[in-house]
Structure 1
């Protein structure tokens, strides 16, 4: 499986049926007034393990031949992919080792460990999670499960787009555009495949807008100066050839949201939708609220991609004025 087509998403949907949550599409009159559009928010913060990542993880692991499952899996993640892989492995009776940055949120570490995964920490600014994970996989005879650079992962994430398309169709609507929280581009690539008629906008954290710059340049451009961002879930240094190829072929464009803009979106989601959304999961909403995406009179699908946020940080953000 080297490319992604709609049939791959359909196969993934069959694998995860009864395992993943069919998350709702939500809307807000106030958001529609702010944007001049009809905005529908795919609430993947309500997905199993708290993010869309479970979709791709379960699809990837359940597609593995039984003879490959004995050695288990190794993954690298700041938290959401970690939790998705850990839960999928637990459900399928497979051992899992997750390489996580030492500064990963405690909540994500605890929940990954709670689902039975072994955790190996590294320094995200000096260590190579890819090399550490590859070495562990070789040593343990395990299968390496990337967070986005894998066709089965992308196909699994794309089931969120299939669902959203079906939900819109039930209302007699079709998405003109999709605004997608973007780290490595797995979710965006999956949704682009699921919704071939929608223009794709990639919402990234300021300073980590490599996907958008790559689209503009016509070649992969990694993050130039890695730094701190509240959006740990989107703190990816480069998209992959797989996701770049899918997104560039669709003419995707990127926008970036600052920490302040993301926090404003988190407060909006809590106040208006009664949802807990993590910083990275609020990037698409932030992009819409800042007016960076030209969407007036359009039907817009936007992702709320995760809800795994430290309780103390969340309380601080939603109680702040701004």
Structure 2
């Protein structure tokens, strides 16, 4: 029996590769029998939901058929303190690390796009300034970080200045994946899905806007990247005529609706597969690139020693 945090399930669902594309048929069979819902998500989101469902279902035959094992975790160059450590699984629901929050500091996309030298330069600067320590002490002023960044990196690397509302801190409350059965109501779930589908249909009424919604991940990118991608999808004049602000507004709406849809579907998976949530074996998890939490491993060894001492 193993326990994973919501964050670990989420990250694992993004990292595991699928051996096949999530077709409409596959979606309706494994996720929800709803054709309209399928067309709201892009391929990455479909993979994420499909992986989540397979992990919760914990059917070895299905996992071997559809999932590819995860290679050793790499530094994705996304965070200041990102490491190559493996994701963890826990052997006890009482482990304190099971509810430890995820905290890190984002590296601006413009810096990431420049490659390793600029990324390491930013990381060194951030650490040298002691911003992580300031955050832990409750005295970090993000506007000061942005101001100092704008005085250094745009001139040094020719990148755009950061907006004062830049999302510097990535903090995700971590908790067990458990859900109280009494809080889930299947009919309410279906009504919620229907309401969100109607919300999507209201805002994305034509093929152009529905296509835009598939690229809402661009909201985190620079205006230049957005304009380039939109030009590829439509015409170079599209942004000029439609407006960058309108495009971003559509992205925001799309992300909101899809986030709520995915959250509802994941709650549905938890409820449906509540009996198998913690029955996934540790060998399978290790094949997927996870390792046992250090604290859990120590407790396991200690318990074995205590048990063996009884017979001495």
The structure where helix makes up a greater share of residues is 2
Alignment TM-score > 0.5, same fold: no
TM class by smaller structure:
under 0.3
More strand by share: 1
Q: Indicate the structure whose relative CO is greater, using CA pairs within 8 Å and at least 6 residues apart.
A: 2
- The two structures have a TM-score, normalised by structure 2, of 0.28
Greater Cα radius of gyration, structure 1 or 2: 2
